[in-house]
Structure 1
Amino acid sequence: MTDNILKCLYVHSGNAGDINCCKGIVKNINSEYKILETNHIRKSVEFIDTINQFSPNIFIATGKNAAPLAQVVKEYNPDIFTVFLKNPNKFNIYYDLIWTPEHDNIQYDNSFSTLTTPHNASIDTNYFSVINLNKKKLGVLIGGKNSHYKFGLSEIKKLCDNLKNLAHKNNLQLIITCSKRTGLNNQIYIQKYFMHTEHWVWRGKGPNPFNQILGHCDYFLVTADSINMISELCITGKPIFIYKLPNFFYRFFGKSKFESFYNKLIDLNIVKWFESEIDDWSYKPIDNTQYVSKKIVEEYTNYVRNN
């Protein structure tokens, strides 16, 4: 993306969404880089030592716990270009560039937004031993509860019943993967439910075959709790069905940012709510990871030129 090798220091909060966001940007910026997790930064003096030894041109942070670190960076060396992914809140004054998701509806003088989030996913069509070549495949991405959605054992049981009926009715093979937020008890229930069937559940051992699921499945069903997972699926151009979950937030506060995100994707004919059936359609894939990465490099170049 640029002829000059940059040096980028990335700091994330440790959750899966922030890690994947950082890794996606890393892949798209031609740079030397170092990645830190906020939990491993015990003292500001240690962080300053890292800055001094690595000498980054660009500092990129994501996650609430990472936001304050730009103040340390700017006090140490105001020439370092600082970037935050998502909302830095009161620490926005220490950032030269801020990316926010459109559904957050947050704007700063130096911010820009995209509909889908940066990510580390890619489409892998290499051999995948678990698939049945004689059947169409439904990739199932299962998240977990959060501040907006309830997702306990009763919801898992209902989801598994719906999946079994859907697969039987449409002659589908299910390829299922869970997230860390799914929870151990829920994952065990899913594994036992589909044991001794033609369907396949990733058991959490070895690398998550997420990219192979993107490459080999014909349809996708994803639980409504994860904007990141849905953003990753949007790169495929294949049908995406969102599985509704009980919504805490809507009950007490009205529509959430999740609803705004889903509605925009529905308007673009990218996703549909799962009712009981599946159907076929296609759309132009959306992947904003490269755009966000390119914007960071462009704004850094302008920053250097003007300072």
Structure 2
Amino acid sequence: MPLTGGHAAHHKVRMSSTASHAPAAPPSSWILTEPYAGLQSQALGLAEAAGLNPGVRTLQPRWPWTLVSAPRWPWPLRSVDSAALAGPMPDVIFGCGGMAGAVGAALRRPDRRIVHIQHPRMPLRRFDLVVVNRHDEIDGPNVIVTRTALHRATPARLAEAAEIWRPVFAPLARPLVAVLVGGTNGRFKLDAAVADGLAQSLVGMMRKDRVGVVLTPSRRTDPAAMRVLRETLEPLGAFVWNGEGDNPYFGMLALADMIISTIDSVSMVSEAVATTAPVMLAPLPGRSRRIGLFTRHLIAEGRVRPFEGRYEHWPVSPLDDTLAAAQEMRHRLDF
């Protein structure tokens, strides 16, 4: 069993006391996050895997609480724009990120369950469930621990994307390598100079191993870095998404024979290892203890390898704990 923590049999919470032989209606639900697609994607992945159709509410802090870390807010419900919390409250609230942790804990009631994703940086007892990656290094009776980040890269979604993007990528050489590019954050740097080094490694692979390349940036990718990658790779026949039109991301994951992801994003790596393709990690200047723990586990298990400028292929199996986490959550919250 990939999930750990919790002693679920002793911590089950009932959503309804009504006895019936008919299937109970799914609980109403919200997602609370800051306006970041990565946070929303994790919460949506968990909720959808549990069969829920949540409304997404985006939290915006009010001044002066923009200057204070959310776990330190004395009145969390007064510290955010009230529009995000308008309307009838749902049965279950999924939060992801520090602001959602503070607000979610304040909204908790006996008939309103709060599920927080990622370490909330506040006492875990203030939540009904906390779902974390093992690199967060926390556990407890209300904690579900996964090996990778939660996400929406389901087999069905990948299969649908494969049919859409197969004719688009058909002219490219095979094997096909998908390259997922992140960006500078508080731990790693990906500027134009670093992008040039990555681009030269990809060029060497294209020439030596005769592979096709499809590449997509993230929202954090520096435009100058992206310009270097495009100007270097497109003349050699690579497909480089320019951010316009439909996003090829899931199609790339579905159709790649190998995936390269920059090391800065746990979410990108987690989505990559949910596929049937081997995954390689492109290094960036910088360091993160948590990401280091995350990647070392995956390397030790043989699911990923460091990218050293060559195409590699080895037998792998998809690694995805999202559905298992959702099933465990439903078991514990009894819906």
Q: Deviations over 1:223-263 (max 9, x none)?
A: 111111111011112111111111245xxxxxx12121111
What does residue 14 of structure 2 align with? none
Q: Assess if the C-alpha contact under 8 Å between 2:118 and 2:133 holds in 1.
A: yes
SS in 1 for 2:46: helix
Output aligned runs, 1:165-244, within 5 Å.
Answer: 165-244=204-283
Q: Specify whether residues 278 and 133 from structure 1 end up closer, same or farther in structure 2 by C-alpha distance, changes over 3 A only.
A: closer
What does residue 105 of structure 2 align with? 71
What is the letter of the counterpart of residue 243 of structure 1?
A: A
Q: Deviations over 1:45-84 (max 9, x none)?
A: 798787673331111100111111123312xx43201110
Is 1:44 aligned to 2:80, yes or no?
Answer: no
Output aligned runs, 1:1-307, within 5 Å.
Answer: 3-39=24-60, 44=77, 53-74=87-108, 77-122=109-154, 123=158, 124-128=161-165, 129-132=168-171, 134-249=173-288, 256-301=289-334
Q: Specify whether residues 50 and 243 from structure 1 end up closer, same or farther in structure 2 by C-alpha distance, changes over 3 A only.
A: closer
| Pairwise CA distance, 1:134 | 5.0
Q: Assess if the C-alpha contact under 8 Å between 2:191 and 2:222 holds in 1.
A: no
Aligned equivalents of 1:247 and 1:40: distance in 2?
Answer: 30
Aligned equivalents of 2:195 and 2:86: distance in 1?
Answer: 49
Aligned equivalents of 2:272 and 2:297: distance in 1?
Answer: 15
What is the letter of the counterpart of residue 225 of structure 2?
A: N
Identical-residue share of aligned pairs (%): 21
Moved more, 34-43 or 214-223: 34-43
| Pairwise CA distance, 1:12 | 1.1
Question: Any stretches of 5+ residues in structure 1 without a counterpart?
Answer: 250-255, 303-307
What is the letter of the counterpart of residue 149 of structure 2?
A: T
Aligned equivalents of 2:35 and 2:131: distance in 1?
Answer: 19
Aligned equivalents of 1:201 and 1:99: distance in 2?
Answer: 35
What is the letter of the counterpart of residue 306 of structure 2?
A: W
Aligned equivalents of 1:85 and 1:12: distance in 2?
Answer: 10
Q: Deviations over 1:83-132 (max 9, x none)?
A: 10011122533211101110111223311211111101242320421332
| Pairwise CA distance, 1:189 | 2.2
Q: Specify whether residues 244 and 49 from structure 1 end up closer, same or farther in structure 2 by C-alpha distance, changes over 3 A only.
A: closer
Q: Specify whether residues 52 and 297 from structure 1 end up closer, same or farther in structure 2 by C-alpha distance, changes over 3 A only.
A: farther
Aligned equivalents of 1:51 and 1:154: distance in 2?
Answer: 44
SS in 2 for 1:230: helix
What is the letter of the counterpart of residue 57 of structure 2?
A: L
Q: Deviations over 1:13-57 (max 9, x none)?
A: 222321110221232122342111112889937987876733311
Q: Assess if the C-alpha contact under 8 Å between 2:202 and 2:309 holds in 1.
A: no
What does residue 253 of structure 1 align with? none
Q: Normalising by structure 2, what TM-score? A: 0.81
| Pairwise CA distance, 1:150 | 1.9
SS in 1 for 2:298: helix
Q: Assess if the C-alpha contact under 8 Å between 1:71 and 1:91 holds in 2.
A: no
Aligned equivalents of 1:108 and 1:206: distance in 2?
Answer: 44
What is the letter of the counterpart of residue 187 of structure 2?
A: H
Q: Specify whether residues 219 and 301 from structure 1 end up closer, same or farther in structure 2 by C-alpha distance, changes over 3 A only.
A: same
Q: Assess if the C-alpha contact under 8 Å between 1:142 and 1:178 holds in 2.
A: yes
Q: Normalising by structure 1, what TM-score? A: 0.87
Moved more, 191-200 or 206-215: 191-200
Q: Specify whether residues 51 and 32 from structure 1 end up closer, same or farther in structure 2 by C-alpha distance, changes over 3 A only.
A: farther
Q: Deviations over 1:193-219 (max 9, x none)?
A: 223431110101123211100111111
Aligned equivalents of 1:50 and 1:192: distance in 2?
Answer: 42
